Amino acid sequence: MVTIEIDGISLSVDASKTIIQVADEAGVDIPRFCYHKKLSVAANCRMCLVEVAGARSALPACATLVSEGMQIHTQSTVARNAQRAVMEFLLINHPLDCPICDQGGECELQDMSMGYGAGISRFSERKRVVPDKNIGPLIQTDMTRCIHCTRCVRFGQEIAGIKELGATGRGEHMEIGTYVEHSLISELSGNIIDLCPVGALTSKPFRYKARAWEMTAHPSVAPHDAVGSNIEVHVRRNEVMRVVPRDNEALNESWISDRDRFSYLGLNHPERCLKPLIKIHGQWQETDWQTALEFAVEGLKSVKAKNGPEQIAGLISPTATTEEAYLFQKWLRGLGTDNIDHRLRQQDFVDDACDYSLQDWDLSALSRSDTIVMLGCSIRSEQPIIAHRIRQANTRGAAVFDINFVGHELFMSDVHQHVVSPVAMMQMLSGIVKSLLPLAKDIDTSDWLPLLSERTPTAAEQNVAMQLSNANESVILLGELLEQHPQGAKYRKLASLISRLTGAKLVWLPKANSVGHWQAGAIPSPKASKAIPLNALSMWQQSCRAYVLFNVEPELDCVNPVLAMSSLQHASFVVQINNFVTQQMQSYADVILPLAAFTETSGTFISINKKWQSFTGAVAAKGDSRPGWKILRVLGNISRLSDFDYVSSEDVLSTLKTELRIQPHGEQQTYLPEDLQLEQGLTYIAEVPSYRCDSLVRRSSALQNTPEMQELTTVKIHPELAQKLDLQDGQQVLLSQHEQQHALELKLDETVARDCVYLQATTSVSAQLGAAMTRVDIKPAGSLT
């Protein structure tokens, strides 16, 4: 600790800090452009020059460490003159086109020039002009405005893990760009919009839409992944104009993913459902809420009367709020059914009774970890902010193992990547367990011994085992591809055993608000009736008579689209409560209730670190749509259920807080797999692309225009498999699964495991296929057999 003085205020501060950090903490304002608390210090804009007593000239506050007895003046003549001179230099080439600049009104340069700039310019020469670059559908560039602070360059290098932007040329010819024009591929790229202190990088979809001072900011929480990134929704005249991050050190720090930033564009999609719809004699008609709600309850009651309550099944999207999930299950349980689930893409439920949830784990623990093992996890698309945390750990030197069926670029250095088939992954996990057995002192592993193969663990397996057991803090992350696997429990139990043997934390990455859904009881657990409740898969397999879908598009969101759609077609009554209305919905549903989107409702998301984050609506619900909790409350009222007189979502929240987390129905608390065998043959790897994960994201035009969304319907296999099957790159192939067949274009891709066929899920093509992660066959299109 050292004692310093800033503008006459005496402070005792940490000697490892810079003047600007100390000043920020003390609330002393120092102007800056290139400095950012989350980025390395560049000290190239010189705006933060301050006077330090005894120094020969003004010093950059961002790059000068404090020292004992330092006397700093931020407002002295020396400091002010230095700042004014820098400002004059910065404005030499800046176009001053504020009236047509999107940054106008929230521009750091504009504000600074008000504070530190001269009223007139002494510069009468011609200003330079820099051509704009096309860096993709999300970010607009106006490079003439750039002041070369290099925040965007450092962001790419240090946070996103991929340096796509750089400063080329020298002196007057220096430009920020990609040199060879291409779209930025980082899933966090939108953050450079906020970082840019001027209008050089602005939001493309938001361009010319609104002025900063016309909008009101509403704090909210992003619903697309389990991080629950804190966001601010900017609203003008009851329209969401844009979404920007809100700092939260425990979760998203200062960043949000592009998905959270641009999903709002889906709010005004033409498919938005604006009126309650009911189908009478095969004809869809708009109606009022009362009629629609009564119609829904009547329909379900008649199924209940005719077929029994266990013929009613309810599925809810994990993007729904905790309050919605709570009322959804409460209403359906009130009707007498326990067939309730939110785990739309899970296929194996035998280990349902095993509790995988962690009590004390948060994202900062992840950044601190020494060893991170990811299993079947495409982390950059599943949970972009968690990918960033892993990158932080990696930068600190953590060993990162990525064991998956497809190899994605992680933008981290020295990742141990193992692209394996499902069978090989099982072998690998049992190999890891085998290498750990000698360490198992207090843990009884006798049950497992007969299951593990005779094979000696490979060097790679021993390496994972060693890194996990030697780490002070380590974590095993289970991803979506593993969750989808029909034998997922075998993997989970092996991973859980590894975690017990090594002390590594096991984190089954939740989807969106699924932590909240567990808390709210949106899982099949026998509470309302004695019947064995149906889960998200068995309710399709058993083909129920009635379904209630809450913001679910089964042909896209569910793991077995064909099965789901056929069960829906055979059902006698289907209630769809959704943000959107599609032709598919109209083909199977009987009533469609327009649901308010997350920006239009109040509620609570529970993030991966178990933090309850409540938010309120930023805008009024669109059209006649209503917040989910209100719809469900009235459905409860019309169904004449008791305890359904909530007047606000806070009411719902306080009730659900008093109820304990329930455990789903399961055979045995300590499930042990009978064997570790898997079906042989090619496996259909159906991965959910980043920007297809929920109904709102799927309808965000800008996200759909990104380069990574352009190859959605291409089948990919490893070149070696292609050679074995005599298939060529670019050829039309027939993908077949049971009775379903589909002709698609083939692309050879070395990043796909050898016994796998990769096709992205949640597309119009995958909607016509069956279960993910099961057997699939591939042959040239047009062949006879």
Partner 1 sequence: MTDMQVTGPAEQLFNEQLRHRLDSWIVKYPVNQSRSALIPCMHLIQDANGGWLSEDLLKALAVYLDLPFISVMEVATFYTMFELSPVGKHKISVCTNISCQLNGSEAIVEHLQQRLGVKLGETTDDGKFTLREVECLGACCGAPMLLLDKQYHEFLTPEKVDELLEGIK
Structure tokens at 213: 């001072």
Among 3, 81, 168, 654, binds partner 1 (CB under 8 A): 168
56 counts as binding partner 1 under rule CB under 8 A: no
- Give me the least distance between CB of 155 and partner 1, in Å please: 13
Cα-based distances in Å from 345 to 314, 373, 564, 687, 719: 15, 22, 12, 11, 29
178 counts as binding partner 1 under rule CB under 8 A: yes
For partner 1, give the closer residue by CB, 165 or 589: 165
For partner 1, give the closer residue by CB, 181 or 679: 181
**Would you call 125 exposed, middle or buried from its count of C-beta atoms within 10 A (0-12, 13-18, 19+)?**
exposed
Give the per-residue contact string, 693-722, with partner 1 (x = CB under 8 A; - = no). ------------------------------
- Give me the least distance between CB of 171 and partner 1, in Å please: 9
680 counts as binding partner 1 under rule CB under 8 A: no
For partner 1, give the closer residue by CB, 118 or 129: 129
Beta strands 139-141 and 201-203: pairing type?
Answer: antiparallel
- Give me the least distance between CB of 179 and partner 1, in Å please: 4
Q: Which stretch binds partner 1 (CB under 8 A): 34-42, 164-172, 185-193, 657-665?
A: 164-172
For partner 1, give the closer residue by CB, 173 or 281: 173
Q: Which stretch binds partner 1 (CB under 8 A): 92-100, 161-169, 317-325, 774-782?
A: 161-169
- Give me the least distance between CB of 750 and partner 1, in Å please: 12
For partner 1, give the closer residue by CB, 166 or 336: 166
Among 29, 179, 532, 616, binds partner 1 (CB under 8 A): 179
From the list 719, 717, 771, 720, the residue with the least C-alpha distance to 744 is 717
For partner 1, give the closer residue by CB, 162 or 466: 162
For partner 1, give the closer residue by CB, 315 or 748: 748
Q: How far apart are CA 109 and CA 151, in angstroms?
A: 14
For partner 1, give the closer residue by CB, 179 or 356: 179
299-303 contacts, C-beta under 8 A, 24 or more apart? 299/546, 299/573, 299/575, 299/590, 299/591, 300/335, 300/546, 300/548, 300/573, 300/575, 300/639, 301/335, 301/639, 302/573, 303/545, 303/546, 303/572, 303/573
Structure tokens at 385: 């902010």
Strands (E), 92-199: 139-141, 166-168, 175-177
Number of residues that bind partner 1 (CB under 8 A): 13
Structure tokens at 645: 């007189």
170 counts as binding partner 1 under rule CB under 8 A: yes
Q: Which amino acid is at 313?
A: A
Q: Which stretch binds partner 1 (CB under 8 A): 167-175, 368-376, 450-458, 711-719?
A: 167-175
- Give me the least distance between CB of 141 and partner 1, in Å please: 15
Q: What is the Cα 413 distance to its own chain's centre? A: 22
Edge-to-edge, what's the strand order for the sheet holding 312-316? 283-286, 277-280, 591-594, 573-578, 546-550, 312-316, 340-341
185 counts as binding partner 1 under rule CB under 8 A: no
Q: Which amino acid is at 172?
A: E
- Give me the least distance between CB of 354 and partner 1, in Å please: 42
667 three-state secondary structure: coil
Q: Which stretch binds partner 1 (CB under 8 A): 156-164, 244-252, 506-514, 655-663?
A: 156-164
For partner 1, give the closer residue by CB, 168 or 268: 168
339 counts as binding partner 1 under rule CB under 8 A: no
Site for partner 1 in 208-247 (CB under 8 A): none
Q: Which stretch binds partner 1 (CB under 8 A): 159-167, 189-197, 279-287, 560-568?
A: 159-167
DSSP state of 156: I
134 counts as binding partner 1 under rule CB under 8 A: no
Q: Which stretch binds partner 1 (CB under 8 A): 157-165, 217-225, 285-293, 519-527?
A: 157-165
For partner 1, give the closer residue by CB, 48 or 412: 412
Among 51, 102, 142, 164, binds partner 1 (CB under 8 A): 164
Residues in the chain: 785
For partner 1, give the closer residue by CB, 115 or 169: 169
Q: Which stretch binds partner 1 (CB under 8 A): 165-173, 235-243, 432-440, 727-735?
A: 165-173
What is the DSSP track for 463-505? Answer: HHHHHHHH-SSEEEEE-HHHHHSTTHHHHHHHHHHHHHHH--E
Among 169, 219, 681, 730, binds partner 1 (CB under 8 A): 169
40 counts as binding partner 1 under rule CB under 8 A: no
165 counts as binding partner 1 under rule CB under 8 A: yes
For partner 1, give the closer residue by CB, 157 or 538: 157
CA atoms within 13 Å, Cβ hemisphere of 194: 21
For partner 1, give the closer residue by CB, 157 or 655: 157
Query: Looking only at Cα atoms, what is the longest distance across the chain?
Result: 91
Cα-based distances in Å from 288 to 239, 274, 292, 354: 24, 11, 6, 45
User: Cβ contacts of residue 55 below 8 Å, gap of 6+?
Assistant: none
162 counts as binding partner 1 under rule CB under 8 A: yes
Contact 703, 265 (CB under 8 A): yes
Enumerate the β-bridge partners of residue 759.
Answer: 686
From the list 344, 474, 499, the residue with the least C-alpha distance to 399 is 474
Q: What is the Cα 765 distance to its own chain's centre? A: 23
Among 167, 358, 460, 466, binds partner 1 (CB under 8 A): 167
166 counts as binding partner 1 under rule CB under 8 A: yes
Cα-based distances in Å from 429 to 22, 435, 490: 49, 10, 10
Contact 263, 599 (CB under 8 A): no
For partner 1, give the closer residue by CB, 399 or 433: 399
269 three-state secondary structure: coil
Among 1, 114, 120, 180, binds partner 1 (CB under 8 A): 180
Q: How far apart are CA 426 and CA 429, in angstroms?
A: 5
Q: What is the Cα 407 distance to its own chain's centre? A: 19
163 counts as binding partner 1 under rule CB under 8 A: yes
Task: List residues near partner 1 by CB under 8 A.
Answer: 157, 162-170, 178-180
